[in-house]
Structure 1
Amino acid sequence: KIFLTQERDDARYFRHGMMYVEPQHGEVHWFQANFDETQYCISGMMRVRAQDRGGREVVLEIGPGEVLYLPAGFNYTMEPTGQESRLLFTSGPSPRPGIVEQKAYSKQLRSLRGQGMEK
């Protein structure tokens, strides 16, 4: 589960969010073409496999209180760690508002603004 400030607050330069990660989640793959990202581990741990264009790989892990920097231009895979984890992230520069590839999902997120945030 991910909460993105860009979807909620129309961030112009950076996106900030919180990730709630289940212990045995499936692998998450992405190519980070045009933005850099930092991950701050609140609890649990995060394991990411990074691969460059030449196919070289490295596995990166962080635990509570540690920060991971993920620069643009790499293929990433977030792997399960067997631990429930909480992470804060920031990425930038931010693309235009909305998840471009997922227009229906982006529209759904915008429609939920303010719901359940009264506490």
Structure 2
Amino acid sequence: MKLTVQNKLSGLILFMMMLFCSNVSAQDFTATGTVVDSEKEPLIGASVSVVGGKVGAITDIDGNFTIQCKQGDMLEISYVGYNNRKVQAGKGLNIVMEQDAKTLDEVTVVGVG
């Protein structure tokens, strides 16, 4: 009888260790970086989101962002008048956005008075 209890206890401990290991491998990661234009000027209010996820962030006045994601996730950066960029999440990213001339030609300003 004692052998059966030890087997069950060993099995339970092994199962709990496997659950713990899977949680460790899927821990959150904090990606940080700066979004700038081709002239190295910060882009204020650029959208940074995890591809296929629901998490997003906006760049601050210096173009900096911080976002929670998983290690190895892809981030998509978008800003009006610029081509979208996809980069792998990391720390200290420096993302240079390229202008989209086609988009700039399509912008229409409407005034309502």
TM-score computed with the length of structure 1 as normaliser? 0.28
Question: Counting strand residues as a fraction of each chain, which structure ranks higher?
Answer: 1
Question: Counting helix residues as a fraction of each chain, which structure ranks higher?
Answer: 2
TM-score computed with the length of structure 2 as normaliser? 0.29
RCO greater where, 1 or 2, for CA within 8 Å and sep 6 or more?
1
